[in-house]
A and B are shown apart, each in its own frame.
Chain A
Amino acid sequence: MLKITNLHVKVKKKTLLTNINLELKLKDLNIIIGPNGAGKSTLLKSLVKVIDIHKGNISLDEIEFTTASINSVSKYIAYMAQFNQNSNLTTLDVLEISRRKYSGFSLREHDHKLIENSINEFALQKFLNRDIDTLSGGERQKIFLAAAILQEPKILLLDEPISHLDPKNQIEMLELIRNKTKEKEFITITVLHDLQNALHYADKIIMLKNKEILYFENSLNITQKMISKLFDTTCKLFWQEGHPFLFLGHSHHNNTNNHSHKKETNDT
């Protein structure tokens, strides 16, 4: 279990996060949503120590993160940044880096095995020799996800992993993330802008607004009111076949009665 207590993050006198308290369990896919500037990326970055913590406590089971070095913390965490710079590294180079984190300059049998499994699971055989900046966005993100998982973390942090992907790739990625979280027993924390997908895939939703946690709820317990408050906008949330469907703002259509939609309006 990942415990975050009373976390405050400040950079150069500017407060980025206040009063963050969270308890996150294994095998949970936690998704952070919220308006811009709420502090979503900051939360991830402070966990992996890319940003310094001002006050508070972070611990994974009995291991203290707060006082640990960036090196020791990184052993437990894999972080996929929002922007990955283009470079002419090949797919294989990128995958190998994940293992070099542990093995240094000479990869062992074990590392090669893991890499091979990863290639098979993510179907990366075709692009092993190719530079990653010659690949499409979707393929690239897959590789970065594979690389993150290759690090065998306990905590998986993903910052906007699907933002520039087409719908098909988005679904593919989210399925992968969810499956892997369950399979490898990660504590996954993902930042998403896409609310629909967030609700759909998350086990838990962390709603951040104004540098604070507004709500931390099981995705099944999300209400329309919560969303409205989070984004300061009206919305409609309804369920069909056990799946949540979110609709923000007002309807543009004149007459809801003339809708050919066969939705049930089951508000909660």
Chain B
Amino acid sequence: MYSKHLYSKKRFFIAILLLCITISLIWISLISGNNGIVFSDTFKLLEAKGSFSIIVFEIRVPRTLAAFVVGASLGLSGAMMQAVLKNPLASPFTLGISQASAFGASFAIIVFQSYSSTSSYEAGFITALFAFASSMICTLLIVSLGKRANMSAESLILFGVALGAFFSAFTMLLQYFADDIDAAATLFWTFGDLSKASMSTILAIGLVLLICLFSYFKIFWKFDALMLGEDSAKSLGINTQNLRLGSMIVASFLSAISVCFFGIIGFVGLIAPHIVRLFIGSSHKYVLPLSALSGAILLLLADIVSRTILLPITIPVGIITSMLGAPLFLYFLYKRSSRC
């Protein structure tokens, strides 16, 4: 056959490599904790009882799984946003969508005190609903603005940053008037934290993620077609408007549920797709699922660092992703400007 196989092989190889890295990081995450990364603990991992197994199953396993599903959700979300907005700087964080979700969730928690009266599942559902609703407001604003033909990529991001600041301000306002015992809560909404990971939230996010990944199979080529140009895509029978709006809604939802349970974790959604495109190109058959995998890798890495770099304190993982991600973001901006 034609040498399709040659290139597919390279991409396939990279996919396998990413998978191996993910598994390694999961393993390292389980042996990281109070005493740093202890390789000899690997054998202890399978112990059924004792305080070490409580540590592993109550603290490390939930965090690891959370890092995986949240990182994957953010990576996928970022990849979708970058594809349909044709803006490589787009991500839930840079478009203000994460901040909007945080506001919605804060609102639900503080104004409705949703944890006091209802069961925790109901409360979680209400919080997620508000987070999503709030993120949709931001999303619709971004989409309608992104339609403008002569808006540059940077301008859209500026708009997103402004929206982000706007929603953050409201979140801070809510926190200011809330019960001051939750001092840590303010920090949580600014820099996400994986320490509250529980199986129910992990399953919820994981389920949504799985559904998204399965549906991507059917439509990934439409993202490729979009890259050829609006008119070209339309001529292929693609309803570009629906594709754009639908994808943004799904992407926002992915990031909203992550934010409402784990706080704002920035830059993962921005950087994961970039890394993938660097090695694989823009074919969305690979970019979408591998962005999810890369996002998981980035967050697993950040989580391990957050738990081992300042022992015995655990830093909120959002701080780590911002500290590492912001310079990278600046680098991307610099590269773009030097190209023009």
Contacts and interface: CB of A to CB of B under 8 A. Distances in A.
Touch between chains A and B, by CB atoms below 8 Å: yes
Given A90-B281, A105-B220, A50 B234 contact: yes
The interface residues of chain B, by DSSP majority, are classed as: helix
Q: How many residues of A sit at the interface, in one of the four size bands?
A: 35 or more
The 6 nearest A-B residue pairs measured at CB: A74-B237, A79-B235, A87-B227, A100-B221, A129-B7, A71-B237
Given A87-B282, A112-B1, A128-B7, A45 B221 contact: no
A70 to B, nearest CB: 6
A81 B227 CA distance: 13
A101 B2 contact: no
16 contacts: A50-B231, A70-B234, A71-B239, A72-B237, A74-B234, A88-B282, A89-B281, A90-B281, A90-B283, A98-B236, A104-B218, A105-B285, A116-B1, A116-B2, A128-B2, A128-B3
Interface in B1-48: 1-4, 6-7
Interface in A104-142: 104-105, 112, 115-116, 119, 125, 128-129, 131
Contacts of B218: 104-105
B229 A131 contact: no
A126 to B, nearest CB: 10
A50 B235 contact: yes
Interface in B250-305: 277, 281-283, 285
B7 A97 contact: no
A68 to B, nearest CB: 11
B229 A84 contact: yes
Interface residues of B, number: 29
A136 B184 CA distance: 57
B4 A81 contact: no
A126 B187 CA distance: 55
Interface of A: 45, 48-50, 70-75, 77-81, 83-85, 87-90, 92-94, 96-98, 100-101, 104-105, 112, 115-116, 119, 125, 128-129, 131, 151, 157
B232 interface: yes
